[in-house]
Structure 1
């Protein structure tokens, strides 16, 4: 069962969103249900703290008239549910920038306008979420656990591009498809975290499954997200063997 969460301070809007979701779930007989619909972000966070959920779908209003806004709420949800699908529904299109600032990695950003468009966008999100869950269930998805502060975050190895040493002493930077995360660690211990990882440079460990191109003339690899990592000359033959 895929849990769906709604956080919207406007009761009329909240009931409207509930209706669109419930109707679509019923018509399509989806293995989903609205687990919580609330106007209080703390209620949602407390629920996730007591009953942690993975792979939830979250519809969040940006302006919640609360001490935290929807984007800040999304960032907190992301800490608890790394694989969750976060969708913002709002009248404030200019706030989209802050989803990148807070590294929320939102699935969609729906602007409130005509109800017909809102309904179709919600349906499209549910369709896409269902597809993602089915694909995830049909393939093994290796997980990477990293301690950040006093929390442990879980990442899908398939989303990892590479890990590099940071300019901050004793820190590393994890590069995902669309974001980065800093954490304390040693680069010489990272390679052992997954069979897909390979240290190709004194400062870089790459996910070989995320390599798009190897440029042997420039001694560098280009990852699927376009980022570039250097290759130490002595590591070229090893990388070739691993790539087959």
Structure 2
């Protein structure tokens, strides 16, 4: 579960963020705070994964708050003013949302955050997978292949299977180069290939088809 904090001096803006967060299963709004000074104190004693931060606030602006902390959880900036966007990107924020915020644009920011998170995880050799209302930390070296199942995917591991709500396209972009997309329904770990031909690849006693649009994947296999 992604623990979120919303910081904004406008109640209506906080209501919108809360409504949008509640629409997404893997997000939880831990707190909504309208005072940036109070938010600073809250962050000192609470674990937060993602902050929605308004830029223009009394006492302390969102930009000044970013300058105050040596390190903050990932931040998505929100504001009604275009001119602040470039300033916000100086702090390497996840995204910048212009008010009034449409849900589709909000969702795009969350996907961007999730992609960033996946890239960080996979670079360390591990991946966090949400399955059965739990978060599982899996080692990529134990992952044989990933199979699409409608809006879900199955992670086929050395000792179990996990079903998770995530797109195969999203995983393709974040996994290391030794994972290959061979079909619209399959990503494989090429370290576990037993045999192959132009039609299919054998992994873990399974023959997985090579899609017509993925025939060039053969050139990327090295025993």
TM-score, normalisation: structure 2:
0.50
> Secondary structure of the equivalent of 2:9?
coil
1:181-196 maps to which residues of 2 (within 5 A)?
Answer: none
Q: Deviation per CA, 1:26-49, whole angstroms, max 9, x where unpaired?
A: xxxx2x311221101112211222
Distance of 1:133 and 1:94 partners within structure 2: 28
Structure 2 residue aligned with 1:41: 36
State the shift of 1:4 in Å. 0.9
Q: Is the 8 A contact 2:7 2:34 kept in 1?
A: yes
Cα distance, 1:122–1:76 mapped onto 2, change above 3 Å: farther
Distance of 1:136 and 1:99 partners within structure 2: 21
State the shift of 1:80 in Å. 3.1
Cα distance, 1:36–1:131 mapped onto 2, change above 3 Å: same
Structure 2 residue aligned with 1:119: 103
Distance of 1:68 and 1:13 partners within structure 2: 17
Q: How many residues align?
A: 125
Instruction: Pick from 40, 52, 67 the counterpart of residue 59 of structure 1.
Output: 52
Structure 1 residue aligned with 2:93: 106
Structure 2 residue aligned with 1:71: 63
Structure 1 residue aligned with 2:4: 4
Q: Is the 8 A contact 1:60 1:74 kept in 2?
A: no
Distance of 2:82 and 2:55 partners within structure 1: 10
Two-structure CA RMSD over aligned residues (Å)? 2.1
State the shift of 1:135 in Å. 3.1
Structure 2 residue aligned with 1:212: none
Instruction: Pick from 138, 147, 162 the counterpart of residue 122 of structure 2.
Output: 138
Distance of 1:22 and 1:3 partners within structure 2: 12
Cα distance, 1:16–1:104 mapped onto 2, change above 3 Å: same
Q: Is the 8 A contact 1:36 1:44 kept in 2?
A: no
State the shift of 1:3 in Å. 1.6
TM-score, normalisation: structure 1:
0.46
Q: Is the 8 A contact 1:91 1:111 kept in 2?
A: yes
5+ long unaligned stretches in structure 1:
142-244
Distance of 2:109 and 2:84 partners within structure 1: 20
Distance of 1:112 and 1:88 partners within structure 2: 10
Distance of 1:17 and 1:2 partners within structure 2: 14
Matched, 1:85 2:74: yes
Distance of 2:111 and 2:66 partners within structure 1: 21
Q: Deviation per CA, 1:82-119, whole angstroms, max 9, x where unpaired?
A: xx32111111111224325xx42122111114x5xx21
Distance of 2:124 and 2:19 partners within structure 1: 34
Cα distance, 1:95–1:135 mapped onto 2, change above 3 Å: closer
Distance of 2:91 and 2:67 partners within structure 1: 5
